[in-house]
Chains A and B, each alone.
Chain A
């Protein structure tokens, strides 16, 4: 019997020589990670934990990345002090890869663009959205507060996750995007139409994947993560490999699952059946066809997050916003996933499109998606966004109504001031054409 992608990757990095030939789901392993990542929100906790144990140095500062993405604007003195603490800690721990505010962007986006997260690698992360690494065929595993142990000792215990396999068949229709597939997946799992439980499983995609570029692959990783997947794996296409190889700052250990690998469950989605999806307030499993929500007035819109922070997402939004203005009374926050993308918006002339439309372009990072440290809602307001989830209270007040949609849906809705099917509006063809080559 062959191995799944995660079984192969964990076999390579396991501390135990006996695991090199292969590990099976359920085995306890101690991976020696290619990288360790911690974000700005968790540094204080980790530092306090190590201080309490009398630990002054970390195990592998040269392989550790600290990223400031959750709070980059410092809207309070407390936030500024936390930033200062993080800077001092990076120095104390001699961290070699410290991406301070304004220096990288979203920690689950820019490392793929910069060749720091590459096919086949394994890393530990405090944050659950490390699953984005699956977009290039890599694994980032969330360990929460146990990141302190990983920082100190280099590893921690990991039960090898079970894998489930999802075959995507056919082609997505025009105006339907990767986030729509994720939302459709969530509703299908919740309704029992796919025989999966994603909790601590690795979701392996298979099938007609060549139509998905890097940006779309990131979108494919998002929603499964909100359903507690331990990882997502999109087998890298030749184009993805070329892109990653050209930028790689570490060796590639590209893996593909064996044809006779064991999956806990398997399912299929016919892509042609999927139209634009909207997630109704509550959580991602409340996804539905957009028709059910069309016409709902919106006060607030946001395009960005780990689920929609790629340049593709900005292009799709710009293709609808070009030559248009936001509806009076509707505000739109645009948060690129990387500083690289922000610069590219300027170079490509798309920054002007967003500004002319009346959108507010924020620095790269998590934007409102992190506890609404910027761009919150008021009580009773309605938002549509590409946030990674719409759990109650995510943008502040618990009585606000949070809808999710693709970048196209959010852009169209911000222009119309109500939830709108973007397929009913014209989109700038030249801007959309750039999708083909934006991660080439």
Chain B
């Protein structure tokens, strides 16, 4: 397992509590249109709540959010976040939202109680999703959270459920 895959280093985008999927992570029209093409999603990521972020962010940047991030089972936003190489750390995520994010292969740490107090937008962060270590290099502080469960790491490593299924089929389908 490539260690660097699990360890992201980049700038923090800090969001608040209750970021909805529709008109929070992505505009509603991408959800009702069931958009799943990353190229059509990424320009609009966080458009309503962090204008300009999608154009400026770099692979490795970390979105840090509060409680109940993503509310609901929709997934276009996670497709976009993964395509941009972002990681997600949040105080909590509804199970169906978490399931959607993992299913799309997004690197996620949740729940991370108190993480909003551990960073500000623009801080340089390093997060290891396989161990749960959260380092704020700007502040020189480290927090330990629960890692992405080992059972789910395999899913994320293969890019989500679709990629995992391809791997599964190679060893489990009759020729």
Chain A residues proximal to chain B, CB less than 8 Å: 28, 49-50, 52-57, 142-146, 148-149, 152-153, 157, 159, 161, 199-200, 228, 230
Taking a contact as CB atoms closer than 8 A, the residue among A28, A144, A148 that contacts B165 in the complex is A148
Number of interface residues of B (CB under 8 A): 24
Chain B residues proximal to chain A, CB less than 8 Å: 71-73, 94-96, 99-100, 103, 149, 151-152, 155, 161-162, 164-166, 168-170, 172-174
Given A53-B162, A228-B96: A152 touches B103 (CB 8 Å cut-off): no
Query: Chain A nearest CB: distance from B18 CB in Å?
Result: 12
Given A28-B149, A57-B173: A50 touches B165 (CB 8 Å cut-off): yes
Given A55-B173, A57-B173, A153-B172: A146 touches B99 (CB 8 Å cut-off): yes
Docked CA distance A144–B99 (Å): 10
Which residues from A are CB-within-8-Å of B168? 53, 152-153
Docked CA distance A145–B173 (Å): 20
Which residues from B are CB-within-8-Å of A159? 95
CB atoms of A52 and B96 under 8 A apart = no
CB atoms of A55 and B165 under 8 A apart = yes
CB atoms of B149 and A199 under 8 A apart = no
Docked CA distance A144–B72 (Å): 12
Query: Chain A nearest CB: distance from B101 CB in Å?
Result: 13
Given A54-B173, A161-B95, A200-B95: A152 touches B165 (CB 8 Å cut-off): yes
Which residues from B are CB-within-8-Å of A28? 149, 151-152
Question: What would 9 more interface pairs be, CB under 8 Å, given A159-B95, A199-B96, A230-B95?
Answer: A28-B149, A28-B151, A54-B169, A54-B170, A55-B173, A144-B96, A144-B100, A149-B161, A200-B95
Which residues from A are CB-within-8-Å of B96? 144, 199-200, 228
Query: Chain A nearest CB: distance from B132 CB in Å?
Result: 16
Query: Chain B nearest CB: distance from A428 CB in Å?
Result: 42
Which residues from A are CB-within-8-Å of B164? 149
CB atoms of A49 and B95 under 8 A apart = no
Query: Chain B nearest CB: distance from A393 CB in Å?
Result: 8
Query: Chain A nearest CB: distance from B144 CB in Å?
Result: 19
Query: Chain A nearest CB: distance from B157 CB in Å?
Result: 14
Query: Chain A nearest CB: distance from B114 CB in Å?
Result: 19
**Nearest CB in chain A to that of B151: its residue:** A28
Given A28-B151, A54-B166: A228 touches B161 (CB 8 Å cut-off): no
Which residues from B are CB-within-8-Å of A143? 99
Query: Chain B nearest CB: distance from A256 CB in Å?
Result: 25
Docked CA distance A149–B163 (Å): 11
CB atoms of B169 and A53 under 8 A apart = yes
**Nearest CB in chain A to that of B163: its residue:** A53
Which residues from B are CB-within-8-Å of A57? 173-174
CB atoms of B94 and A199 under 8 A apart = yes
Which residues from A are CB-within-8-Å of B99? 143, 146
CB atoms of B169 and A152 under 8 A apart = yes
Docked CA distance A52–B152 (Å): 21
Given A161-B95, A200-B95, A228-B94: A49 touches B165 (CB 8 Å cut-off): yes
CB atoms of B169 and A157 under 8 A apart = no
